[in-house]
Amino acid sequence: MAAVARGARTNLALLALLAAAFLTGWLAFAFATAPSRWSLIIHATSGFAIIALLPWKSMIARRGMRRAQPARWASILFGLLVVVSLAAGLLQSTGIALSIGPLSAMDFHVGGAIAAVPLAVWHVAARRVRLRPADMSRRAALRGGAVLAGAAAAYAMSEVIVRASALPGATRRFTGSYEAGSHNPDQLPISSWMFDPVPEINTSSWSLRTPGRAWTYEQLYAFDDRMTATLDCTGGFYSEPSARHTNRREAARPRARIPGAARRDGPARLLVGQVGRRDRSRRSASLVAVAVPAPVRVTARTPSRCRRRPRPTRSSLRSPGC
């Protein structure tokens, strides 16, 4: 009975850690600011805690393998996918191997996690574990805290080793992304959301249309103001290209102005993947056109209640994802 109780606690802990790792991994895609760093820390700590519990889980699995069960292949596949995702995450974070054949380590990391979800749901439903009062005791909480503390220490030590060894992972941005194509746009990785096709622009017929005016590609390319934008695809790479944007003289022309629009020149930070206001409940219409290495123009409408006393507003940039 004691072995069964320990196995139940291990399974419950692994379930909680897998859920935490999965959720914080997706949250890391959504941020390009400080929350991304914290979500990645929790994500990595959860991963190291899962690794710490693998010896106990292996004993549970060996007992289960001795019993003839009809769908144990699904449990084996689930375990293999989790191991693949963990290994690929370590390769990606350290930079030891950023690509494996035609796919990146991040592809294996995310793909293994997504493929494991239906198997995880089946595994939990087929092998239900009852939560007992002893599982919520002070002793159980101390054991869980010790595992988390050890996992956090292992993560911190891994970061120290990566930097001391000068591994590629030491150059990561706080979002976990690696630099690519900052000074050579041709080296910028092609990135799109899932099965979206790669857009192709015919520069001879393409134009940027706004409520006040339309610009051709040649007109936009002729603008001489420059800005450096940080493009961070939180799925693995970032770039800091220099781009042209609308100059002040052009923006001052009546036909180029948009009623109720606020203009802010200077450095901007753009996120390829997902960017928005921290307060999602407060939204204002935004007009954004971004092309790399093509020109960039950003304008944002101020809310109607602010038009008597105009004040600059932040512009929100959002793309379908990477």
Whole-structure pTM value: 0.67
Helix, strand, or coil here: 216?
A: strand
Q: How far is the C-alpha of 95 from the C-alpha of 63, rounded, in Å? A: 36
Q: How much is the pLDDT for 267? A: 42
Q: Note the maximum CA span of the chain.
A: 81
Phi, psi of 2 (to 5 degrees): -65, -40
Collect all residues with Cβ–Cβ distance below 8 Å to 295 and sequence separation of at least 6: 220, 221, 223, 243, 244, 245, 246
Yes or no: say if 95 and 169 are a contact pair by the CB < 8 Å rule. yes
Total residue length of the chain: 322
- The alpha carbon of residue 40 and the mean position of all alpha carbons in its chain are separated, in whole angstroms, by 9
Dihedral-angle region of residue 181 (phi above 0 means left; psi in -120 to 50 means alpha; beta otherwise): left
List, for residues 225-238, the tens digit of each pLDDT value: 777 778 887 768 88
Q: How much is the pLDDT for 244? A: 60
What is the DSSP code (8-state) at residue 271?
Answer: -
* Residues of the chain with confidence (pLDDT) below 50: 1, 247-249, 251-252, 254-322
Burial (CB count <10 Å: 0-12, 13-18, 19+), residue 216: middle
